[in-house]
């Protein structure tokens, strides 16, 4: 039985985490686990830097991996044409994002999009959503946050912005 996050008006909050060419299986497994915990969908855009049959991915997701609502796409265009995210439903995450993550909108359906660990988001995806780039502020002591950490921050912030934590429930 799949559970759904709902707000106090019983509207289903739909979150889609999109990883464009993820390279590290541990990150994808951890993000999958967070997706299960929040009822979010996980979308992986090829090429992948690992096999999904890899026991490491499953180990990172522990016994939850079988519950991940997973879709694997050949390219971003396929996801975009099939799911048709609106401009207002997209939040792109990059260390060079224009606005801090706490200022992102939080519609009922939202796509949180992340690039690969080493290359970030491809410019052709960024150019489709020029007003939807966000960053998670960090000190100059590090280059970036770990991808799974950044995804976790973004997912929970998007839910917090939709409704305060006390106002949504899992049903």
pLDDT digits (tens, 9 = 90+) for 18-66: 999 999 989 999 999 999 999 999 999 999 999 887 677 666 666 788 8
The model's confidence at residue 1, banded by pLDDT at 50, 70 and 90, is very low
What's the N-to-C CA distance of the chain in angstroms? 10
- pLDDT at position 67 is 93
> What kind of fold does domain 13-170 have according to CATH?
Alpha/beta knot (3.40.1280)
Each domain of the chain, given as residue ranges in start order, spans: 13-170
Confidence of residue 6 (pLDDT cuts 50, 70, 90): low
């Amino acid at each position: 039985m799949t559970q759904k996050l709902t707000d106090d008006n019983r509207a289903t909050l739909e979150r889609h985490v999109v990883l464009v060419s993820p390279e590290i299986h541990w990150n994808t497994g951890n993000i999958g686990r967070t997706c299960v915990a929040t009822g979010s969908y996980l979308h992986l855009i090829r090429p992948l830097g690992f096999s999904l049959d890899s026991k490491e991915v499953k180990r990172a997701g522990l016994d939850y991996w079988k519950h991940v609502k997973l879709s694997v796409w050949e390219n971003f265009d396929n996801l975009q044409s099939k799911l048709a995210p609106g401009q207002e439903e997209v939040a792109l995450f990059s260390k060079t994002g224009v606005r801090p993550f706490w200022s992102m909108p939080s519609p009922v359906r939202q796509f949180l999009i992340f690039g690969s660990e080493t290359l970030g988001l491809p410019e052709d995806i960024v150019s489709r959503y020029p007003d939807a780039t966000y960053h998670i502020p960090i000190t100059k002591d590090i280059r970036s946050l770990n991808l799974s950490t950044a995804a976790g921050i973004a997912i929970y912030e998007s839910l917090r912005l939709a409704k305060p934590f006390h106002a949504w429930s899992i049903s």
